[in-house]
Amino acid sequence: MKLKITFLLMLICSVSFAQIPAADEVKTSKGPLKIQPLNHATLALTWNGKTICADPYEGAKTFDGIAAPDLILITDIHGDHFDPATLDALDLSHSIVVAPQAVADKMSEKLKAKTVVVGNGQTISKLDISITAIPMYNLPESADAKHTKGRGNGYVLKMGGKTVYISGDTDGIPEMRGLKNIDVAFVCMNLPYTMDVPEAASAVLDFKPKIVYPYHYRGANGLSDTEAFKKTVNDGNKSIDVRLRNWYSKK
């Protein structure tokens, strides 16, 4: 009987740990920056005793084992980025939310009260983190594009001497290709909503982040070929650390 109980406890623990992909760490001047892939466009960064979440999505279960967020970044109005039900399910009692105006316009009054609106090109500082909103949009530009220029935000975060770029939903726009000194980048690739793998690789080769995570890679026809992305990037620049993680492991 004791053996059975021990086995069950081990099984429960293994299932619990399996729910969350392993976190990576990057050294900063104020301790480690922990990078936690979660789901699709959702990720958590832990730094200097604070938890930063981007685009909370698909319920509280996505955040099993993750501390309550101190800072939430929302990139766009679509449901896989701005998910009110998930935000309502999280403990936001000590949270600051950063979002573009188009997202704030769709928020409840309660959530608006926690939100700082930032537009493309603006920089603010919260929790000792510099946050710059940069454009994210489809090419060629058109009024009926899925992502029009100025509506959503990509984000560049500076913390502890390191710079992190979160692309949001975008093509390989000049604003991305012109980025400098990016330590960690999260780059989307999912047709027909954003760019394909070759375009994403081309953009990464232009702005040369030290580390890049392909994320947001589930499209209309399934998952994009992240192995092909890694090969293309490293064929062009072996010094870029392409990190492939499973962003779709949670059920």
Q: Is residue 210 part of a domain?
A: yes
Angle made by CA atoms 28, 34, 40, in degrees to the nearest 5:
130
Angle made by CA atoms 228, 53, 95, in degrees to the nearest 5:
170
Residue 194's domain spans which residues?
23-242
Q: Got the DSSP string for 173-195?
A: -HHHHT--S-SEEEEE--TTTS-
Q: Is residue 8 part of a domain?
A: no
| Confidence class for position 144, pLDDT limits 50, 70, 90 | confident
Nearest to 117 by CA among 134, 135, 97, 132: 97
What the block records as the tokens of 180 is: 């400098």
Number of domains in the chain: 1
The CATH number of residue 137's host domain is 3.60.15.10
Q: Is residue 12 part of a domain?
A: no
Reported as a single tens digit per residue, the pLDDT across 50-107 is 999 999 999 999 999 999 999 999 999 999 999 999 999 999 999 999 999 999 999 9
Reported as a single tens digit per residue, the pLDDT across 2-48 is 444 443 444 434 444 345 567 899 999 999 999 999 999 999 999 99
Percent over 90 (pLDDT), the chain: 88
Cα–Cα distance measured from residue 162 to residue 158, given in angstroms and rounded to the nearest whole number: 6
Q: Give the predicted TM-score (pTM) of the model.
A: 0.91
Q: Is residue 13 part of a domain?
A: no
Residues in the chain: 251
Q: Is residue 3 part of a domain?
A: no
62: buried, middle or exposed (CB in 10 Å: 19+, 13-18, 0-12)? buried
Q: Is residue 215 part of a domain?
A: yes
Q: Is residue 250 part of a domain?
A: no
